[in-house]
Amino acid sequence: MRVEFVNPFLASLVNVLTTMAQLEIEPEKPHLKKGTVAKGDVSGLIGLVGPQTKGSFSVSFEENLALEIMNRMLGEKPSSINEEVTDMVGEITNMVTGGAKRLLAEKGFDFDMATPIVVSGRDHTITHKSDGPIIIMPFKSQFGSAHIEICFDK
Amino acid sequence: MRVEFVNPFLASLVNVLTTMAQLEIEPEKPHLKKGTVAKGDVSGLIGLVGPQTKGSFSVSFEENLALEIMNRMLGEKPSSINEEVTDMVGEITNMVTGGAKRLLAEKGFDFDMATPIVVSGRDHTITHKSDGPIIIMPFKSQFGSAHIEICFDK
């Protein structure tokens, strides 16, 4: 897991939320995940397979933030996480990973993306079981918090 | 998503739990996931990327069943889902997918596995966001239930 992997994912989430939902989200300091447990209410996960390595990516949202993104992207705000919201989180997961993939390919680091999986459930936790360190990138907004986790083998 | 994909995953979970935990688990009828929401307390997920297709796999356990598998595999039964349990679920996810991968490769269907991700949280739900139908395979045991979900694009 190299430090230069951080920015493409971080920039990609900020970019997707700004362009798709006109929503400003503020990145906080990325750090290695060590014993900390980051919780979310709805998360998008995607597996990554490349010639040099494999790994996994996740993006987790607090419910209220996910509902506000839904409101801004589609003009409707459901009262709780429903199938439309999980569809949207799946799309965001694809777009963020796809954006980071393009940026990383320019640096000669290639991987293919599996299909996204969305988890919903109050205060669930996600543990990436790769051999490498897990990098966690927290984000804040006026509607709630989000965080990205990425992990590559070696 | 082809019907012949079902048996390799089903047989692989039964085989892993029998050999690693001496635990009998009874497969119930696999079916297409349509509007049904299957809940679990701890789940292992893995992305699949192949030349013909891509997709995702998940296996979800009720807490009590996960703890009993832990007890039988490692001789210790924690009172709730902790890091050892998520490690074990990650390993089971790898073993079941790896077993199915070998069986499917014999039929000329190849894919690479990403690294597993484990989700824990009471009654969470998982939604596979592939283009293809999702197949769900329920299992029963005296300690609780489990289910597998698989989905491939196209």
Per residue in B79-133, pLDDT tens?
Answer: 999 999 999 999 999 999 999 999 999 988 899 999 999 999 999 999 999 889 9
Q: What is the pLDDT of residue B117?
A: 97
Pick the residue from chain B with its C-alpha nearest to A149: B117
Q: What is the pLDDT of residue A2?
A: 65
Q: What percent of chain B has pLDDT over 90?
A: 82
Q: Is A128 within 8 Å of B119 when comparing Cβ atoms?
A: no
Q: For residue A69, is pLDDT > 90?
A: yes
Instruction: Tell me the longest C-alpha to C-alpha distance in chain B.
Output: 44
Q: Which domains does chain A have, with CATH numbers?
A: 3-152 (3.40.1550.10)
Q: Is B47 within 8 Å of A43 when comparing Cβ atoms?
A: no
Task: Give the distance, in angstroms, between the CA of residue B33 and the centroid of all CA atoms in the same chain.
Answer: 15
Query: Mean pLDDT, to the nearest integer, of B40-49?
Result: 96
Which residues of chain B neighbour A112 with C-beta distances below 8 Å? 49, 54
**Contact residues for B129 (Cβ-Cβ < 8 A; gap 6+):** A86, A87, A90, A93, A94, A115, A116, A117, A118
A16-27 pLDDT, tens digit per residue, is 999 999 999 999
**Angstrom distance (rounded) from CA A18 to CA A73:** 10
Select the residue from B117, B136, B151, B154 to test the A interface by mutation, using most A Cβ atoms within 10 A.
Answer: B117
Q: How far, CA to CA in Å, does B144 sit from each of B60, B75, B123?
A: 11, 19, 13
Q: Is A47 within 8 Å of B122 when comparing Cβ atoms?
A: no
Which residues of chain A neighbour B83 with C-beta distances below 8 Å? 127
Which of A83, A87, A129 lies nearest to residue B115, judging by beta carbons? A129
Q: What is the pLDDT of residue A1?
A: 53
**Contact residues for B2 (Cβ-Cβ < 8 A; gap 6+):** none
Q: What is the pLDDT of residue A148?
A: 96
* Token duo for residue B134: 């999702």
ipTM of the complex: 0.92
Which residues of chain A neighbour B54 with C-beta distances below 8 Å? 112-115
Q: What is the mean pLDDT of chain A?
A: 93
Judge contact between B87 and B150, C-beta under 8 A.
no
Query: Mean pLDDT, to the nearest integer, of B40-61?
Result: 94
DSSP-H helix ranges across chain B: 6-21, 63-74, 83-106
Instruction: Report which of A54, A65, A50 is spatially closest to residue A138, judged by C-alpha positions.
Output: A65
Q: Is A125 within 8 Å of B119 when comparing Cβ atoms?
A: yes
Q: What angle do CA A2, A3, A5 make, to 5 degrees?
A: 75
